[in-house]
Structure 1
Amino acid sequence: MYIDKHNITGMVYFGGNFSEIPAQYFQSLPCPVIFVNTVLPNCLDTGTYSSVQVNHYETAWKQMEYLIEKGHKDICMLISSRIDTSIYQVRWQAYEDVLKKHSLEHCLSHVVESDYRCHRAHRNLTGYLTDHPEITAICSSADIMAPGALRAIHDIGKAPGRDIALISFDGIESMSYCVPSIATFEQPQPEMVNYIYDLLLGLMENKRQHQHITFHARFMENESCTGTAGQA
């Protein structure tokens, strides 16, 4: 086993989906493990590992609600893939639930996939927005795709933030330097890193018990949602 071979005494694992992994695999972990933003089973003995998460579902819910509160009724969702089973699937589920709550099920067909690649987001959205001029807002499940969306709006002759709103998730620093700057929910990375570091050292030294904590994302309003639906 890799952990034994390399004498690893602690591990931080990012992402992934282990919801279908049998419980015995978690019970036999050979060293302290902290799962970060990982989809985990609901019925595990949580004393055998630690987890640090962001409130993905609640934050994604706020993303979509924000657009709807601004009057948008034709919203396109920019996602990685329909078969993505990571925490981005959790975000997608929140989008779907909010749209159903507001009887906007027709938006569920407004989905553009990009495989987390900016150039694909640009290419696929350019075509989709051209074919669907009724779209007034884009909800991106990750910041890494958002600049491609911004450029797509520009390239079809519309003004980002005024004609088509754009909201995203993650809080990557570069979002504040786009024109217009992109509205996003920021993961509190410094706080998360410090917590993970302290917890892992404590676990490795047998000074702490396993913990499970959820951090809350912060909204950075910026400029890409300044308009309201129908303003243009």
Structure 2
Amino acid sequence: MKAVNIKDIARIAGVGVATVSRVINHHPDVKEETRQHILQIIEEYKYIPNNSARYLKRSESNDVGIIIKGIYNPLFAEMMQKIERILSQVGYTVMLHHHMDMAIRDMDVAQEFVKEKRLKGLICLGGDFEDVQTEEVKRMNVPMILTSALQNEALDRKVYSSVGINNEVAAFEIVNYLCMTGHQKIGIITTGEHDQSIGGRRTQGYMRALSTHGIAKVDERFEVGDYTFESAYLAMKRLLVKAPDLTAVFAISDIMAIGAARAIHEVGKSIPKDIALAGFDDIDYAAYYDPPLTTVKQPLETLSETTAELMIALLEDRSEHEHVMLPTTLKIRKTT
């Protein structure tokens, strides 16, 4: 009998691969009838889970690393969980590393992580790789995927993969929407106009939208924070003092928008009656905030699935490196 894999078991059982994985790993959230059905098929086809089979075949590392830039982005935390689930279903173990020291190059962290843990592949969620050279990537000698991370445009695209969105375009679209609804005095809470990371791209989108509508840049409408509730709350307090005539604010992340909302409410202003508010990411909190937050929805599920499936294909020599740009969606809710 031909050896079967987890996808074959799922097809025969008429369930998803994730359900088979939960049964194999003894997760409780599977109906007993379904569990027994899958176990019967596993027994009938003499299926050995991939992770066991792979480790029997070779003693080298079977680990894929995920580096998450920072600790405050719930979007990355959710993506990590989805990527880990898919990789584990086909036998790979995920090793996680939070990179929080802004003084250390992201590429240096990546190289050390691969070397120390003897990784088979590396996924970077976020980070700045704009100073990376092609030879640095080649020396790592493992597949590397940059997801929602900045890349050096001169880097040889055949030596790494990337998955992401166009942050500048997405920010332009949401600020353009604010302009189209009549706002001209639009503030921004960002990571800095000269930031070379994703925050900088979103700031560029804000600037282009203002320029498109003939709105001049006003320094008093700029404030800087980081990706935390507190920093955005304090930034919004400063904005309200130096630009009291604001009618709208774009925060470059939902976390920052929610922090800003508290400062707006504390001075007795109403959202959106007095000040409209928009964020970016569409994290879970956004739809359940009061009022629900207008934002840019990142295709979280697709970003995660594309990253994981591409890594599997690269590890199994079924694919060359790819570069995938996914579309975003405006989510117009009650804050505007």
Task: Name the TM-score, length of structure 1 as normaliser.
Answer: 0.91
Pairing partner for 2:212 from 82, 93, 101: 101
Deviations 1:54-93 (A, max 9, x none): 1211101101101100111111001123453211111111
Confirm or deny: 8 A CA contact 1:53 1:215 kept in the other structure. Answer: yes
CA separation of 1:21/1:162 partners in 2, compared to 1, >3 Å: closer, same or farther?
Answer: same
Larger Rg: 2
* Partner SS state of residue 280, structure 2: strand
Distance 1:73 1:207 in 2: 51
SS state of the match for residue 129, structure 2?
A: coil
1:129 correspondence with 2:246: no
Q: Which has the higher contact order (CA 8 A, sep 6+)?
A: 1
Gap change, CA 1:196 and 1:165, over 3 Å in 2:
same
Which consecutive residues of structure 2, in runs of 5 or more, have no partner in the other structure?
Answer: 1-111
Match of 1:10 among 72, 96, 121: 121
Kept in 1: contact 2:220–2:243 (CA 8 A): no
Corresponding residue number in structure 2 for 1:230: none
Structure 1 position 66 matched with structure 2 position 177: yes
Q: Is the 8 A contact 1:96 1:108 kept in 2?
A: no
Report the more deviating stretch, 102-111 or 196-205.
Answer: 102-111
1:172 to 259, 283, 292: 283
Task: Quote the residue 1:81 is aligned against.
Answer: 192
Measured after TM superposition, the shift of residue 50 of structure 1 is 0.3
Superposition map of 1:72-221 within 5 A: 72-221=183-332
Q: Aligned to 2:164, what secondary structure does the other structure show? A: strand
Alignment length, in residue pairs? 225
What is the distance in 1 between the residues matched to 2:142 and 2:213? 46
CA distance in 2, matches of 1:187, 1:209: 25
The code of the aligned residue for 1:94 comes to: G
- Pairwise CA distance, 1:27: 3.0
Q: In the alignment, does 2:144 pair up with 1:23?
A: no
Distance 2:208 2:167 in 1: 13
Q: Is the 8 A contact 1:79 1:113 kept in 2?
A: yes
1:217 corresponds to which letter in structure 2?
A: T
State how 1:17-56 maps to structure 2 within 5 Å: 17-56=128-167
Contact 2:185-2:246 within 8 A present in 1 as well: yes
Percent of aligned positions that are identical: 28
Q: For residue 28 of structure 1, report the CA deviation from its aligned partner.
A: 2.7
Equivalent-residue separation in structure 2 for 1:127 and 1:44 (angstroms): 40
With 184-193 and 106-115 compared, the bigger mean Cα shift is at: 106-115
Equivalence for 2:46 = none
Q: Residue type matched to 1:73 in 2?
A: Q
Question: Whole-Å Cα distance in 2 between the matches of residues 43 and 217 of structure 1?
Answer: 25
Task: Report the Cα distance in structure 2 between the residues aligned to 1:154 and 1:130, rounded to whole angstroms.
Answer: 14
Question: C-alpha root-mean-square deviation of aligned residues, in Å?
Answer: 1.5
Aligned to 1:228: none
Question: More helix by proportion, 1 or 2?
Answer: 2
Report the AA paired with residue 315 of structure 2.
M
Distance in 2 of aligned mates of 1:75 and 1:55: 22
Q: Is the 8 A contact 1:99 1:107 kept in 2?
A: no
Cα drift, residue 149 of structure 1: 1.1
Task: Say whether the 8 Å CA contact 1:166–1:224 is kept in structure 2.
Answer: yes
Q: Is the 8 A contact 2:159 2:321 kept in 1?
A: yes
